[in-house]
Each structure stands twice: as C-alpha cells, then as structure tokens.
A and B are shown apart, each in its own frame.
Chain A
C-alpha cells in the first residue's frame, strides 16, 4: 500500500505488466510444447495485411457508429412518438441479437437484396449499426445527466435550442460519456473479428488461415492478441487524454 502510494505511475504499470507476463510465461512453460515460430513467420505478410484491414475497418466503423449512435440518441429523445419508437426498436433489436446473425443477414439477405456486393462496405455498415445501438444509449444517458437548471440557464440568456445543445449541453455531456464511449470503441475493434464469417480477410481470419496452414495454434493466435492491443491501447490512452482535457468539477 505504502509502496503504491510513492511509486510513479509508469513504474507501477511496468511492474504489473511484467508480473502478469511472468505468470503467463510460467503457464506456457508448464505446457510442454515446442514452438514453431519459423512456420508462422513465413506468413508475416498475411498477418500484416489482416492487421491493416482490421485497423481500417474498425476505424471506419468507429466513425460511422458515432454518427449512427448520435442520430439514434436524438430519435430516442424525440418528441415524435414515431421517431422515438423507431429509435427504441432499433436499439433493442440490435442489442438483443448476436452480431454473428446480423452479419449473416446483413450480407446474404439485405446487401444482396439492394445489390451491395462489397463485403468490406457491408462489414463496416453492419458493425457500425451494431455498435451504434450501444452508443445511442451512452449518448442518451450522457445528455440526461445534464441537470434541467443548465437548460434553464441556456434558455434564460436567449440561446436557441440548437445553440443550447452545441454550447451548453454537448460540451458537458462529452465529459460524462467519454469513458463509456472509449470502452465501446475497444469492443468494436474486437467485434470486427467476426467479420471473418462474411469472408472479410481481416486480422482474425488471417490467424485462422495461418493456423490451418501451419498447425501451430498458439503461434498463430498470440500475434493476434498483440495486434489487437496495438489498436486498443492507443484508443484507451486517447480517451484518458481527452478526459483530462474535458475535466472540470460540476
């Protein structure tokens, strides 16, 4: 306890990471396996290509899902019962069904019906719609957390509803939703691994293929863990940075 109080944060992080790595290493050492890194190394280009696809697909879906989530949050808060119902049904249906099923229906039924053939575009859209449902609830909660007195003050000085949203409500709501949004982004990146079922050659599919070529399961999937961390850790850091920027006491 005393040590943790005086230890710098970066050092504390290093200690914990090393301890964790040592534990995992011990566990691996007990499993009597011979490593076949050479076999897997031969497919490094495939890994890299898969990693890039995952990165691009995730970031695209991340942007689209923020827009979708924002739109759905507005619908959820709408005075029109029809819009509100549409938003509610969207959120509940998407959150209540597996992404796997959504991808299969989205690609083989909906996209086929409208003549959309690019599986990458379909993948990004389905992923964005999936994540957008969660974002909508996060945004709605963030807006609801702003007290009525703030809206009163905004009206009292003569702001229009749009100005009130832009200058008063959103800047405060951002601070409330940042941690949850960051968590949702991280989930989205990992959920993109399911795009392999519609044959999007992303990172997880690359690992699956390498595994089937080399029969070296651990060597094929360990780089996967490291690769996802390379995407999700910067997202978490960015979120913490933004949290500090938006920090103020209510």
Chain B
C-alpha cells in the first residue's frame, strides 16, 4: 500500500492531538507506528481506519482519498478491517457468531457460506476448539485472535491494528504477535500501532515515529529505530532498548 498523509489535524475540544501530520510512504505491506503514549498514534490510526474524521488535512491510500462523509466512510470501512486494543468482541455472541455477523449482515453471505468461509482460518489459527464460547470464557489472547480473525475473514484490503497486545500478558502477547507475523508472511497488508519495538523491527517494512501529534521520523526499521538522527526519537529507543 502507498499511504499519503497531508497536513492532518485532529482536535478534541481544546486539545490538539494531531498537529499537522505529513507522511508519504513507498509501496509497503507492513507499516508500523511507534512512539510515546499520548503522542497521537491511535488517533491517527482511527482516522486511517475511517472511524473518525479529521478537523483538517487529507489521507490517501493508493492515491485514493478517504471520504469525509459518513455513508461513504462506512462503505470504506467495509473494505478494511480494524482491531482494537480491548478486543471489542460482542459479548452477547459466541466467538463464531462474532465472526459470522459481518459476513452475513454486511457482506451478504448466507449463514452456510459464512461458516464455510471461517472454517479454514479457524483451523489455521487453532481457534476451532474454543469458538463456540462467549468472549467472557476466552483468554485475552484468544479474544484478540478472534477479533483479528473477525477483521480478516471479510477479506479486507488492509488491516488496522491499534495496540493489539497492550492489554495482554507476555505469553498471550507472543501468541498474538505470532499470528500477526503469520499474516505478514502471507502478504496481508496492515498498519499497526504498537509498543513492541522488537516486533516492529522484525515485521515492519516502514516505521513512523509519532510524537507530539506529528511524524518525527519515518523510514525502514533500521533507519528509525537504530540510527535516527532526531534526538527525541533516538533517546526514546535508547531508553526502551536499555530496559529490555
């Protein structure tokens, strides 16, 4: 995907969360946003996913500008998948029904077609055994993997993952990161917000460092994480890598 962001501004009340984001990426498969908490990564991702409309500025994927008007945005959201930090599965439905709901009600598959569609992915990600349980009966890692699958089975053009492992313990984090790694190896395009710098380095084609509501650096993982000339960015990774 080629992403072009120009002069993106987002405000909530009096707080300016994005203060003129500019970013132009080459044609990449995995784009990763890293940076300090409160720096605007998640706000940016929500705009890219078509969930929020910015105050000013524009976003274009493959040269195609995101609409601002709700019904056109909804049509856009149907072509992409979004995964949230807190899973956001529907608690009143079983894991399976969570997967079937968008297929049946948004993408017009019959119940039988939808079940057929999810069977392979469920086997592949070892979720078939637990899929009849309600979300409350699943572990955090299982919940997030079901949530990723829910976004994936509609065959989206790309996935948006908003800190998908931040609510998980290390073991479950590994479980979810492995799944995302597999997606990468099968050519699924995604934009990922994460604090897992090691994983970002491994999986990203392009890394953008977001801080203070701007893109402070972007480039290959090596360029941004290991040898960034911007002191703010360099210091950030020095501190994180020193701790781990």
Closest Cβ of chain A to B231, distance in Å, is 36
Instruction: Pick out which of these stretches binds chain A: B31-39, B74-82, B176-184, B191-199.
Output: B74-82
Provide the residues of chain B in CB contact with A172, threshold 8 Å: 90-92
Chain B residues near A250: list those with CB within 8 A.
Answer: 91, 136
- Whether B77 lies near A156 (C-beta < 8 A) is yes
Select from chain A the residue with minimum beta-carbon distance to B150: A157
Give chain A residues whose Cβ lies under 8 Å from the Cβ of B82: 156-157
For A36, list chain B residues within 8 Å (CB). Answer: none
| Contacting residues, chain B, for A157 (C-beta < 8 A) | 77-78, 82, 101-102, 106, 150-151, 154
Contacts of A187 in B (CB 8 A): none
> Which segment, of A38-46, A58-66, A159-167, faces chain B?
A159-167
Nearest B residue (CB) for A157: B102
Tell me which residues across on chain B come within 8 A of A167, comparing CB atoms: 101, 105
CB-contacts of B95-149 with A (<8 A): 101-102, 105-106, 134, 136-137
B168 contacts A by Cβ under 8 Å: no
Q: A172 vs B93: C-alpha distance in the bound complex, in angstroms? A: 10
Q: Let me know if B92 and A175 touch, CB within 8 A.
A: yes
Q: Find out whether the CB atom of A159 lies under 8 angstroms from the CB atom of B106.
A: yes
Tell yes or no: A171 within 8 A of B by CB. yes
Q: Closest CB-CB distance, A106 to chain B, in whole Å?
A: 39
Residue of B with least CB distance to A249: B136
- How far apart sit A155 and B151, CA to CA, in the bound complex (Å)? 12
Q: Does B51 contact A (CB under 8 A)?
A: yes
Per the bound structure, the CA–CA distance linking A152 and B160 in Å amounts to 13
Q: Would A249 and B49 be within 8 Å (CB), given that A153-B90, A157-B154 are in contact?
A: no
Give the residue name and chain of the B residue nearest to A149 (CB).
Answer: B88
Known: A156-B49, A157-B102, A163-B105. A168 touches B77 (CB 8 A): no
Footprint of A on B, CB under 8 Å? 49, 51, 74-75, 77-78, 81-82, 84, 86, 88-92, 101-102, 105-106, 134, 136-137, 150-151, 154
What residues make up the interface of A, taking CB atoms closer than 8 Å to B? 149-150, 152-153, 155-160, 163, 167-168, 171-172, 175, 246, 248-250
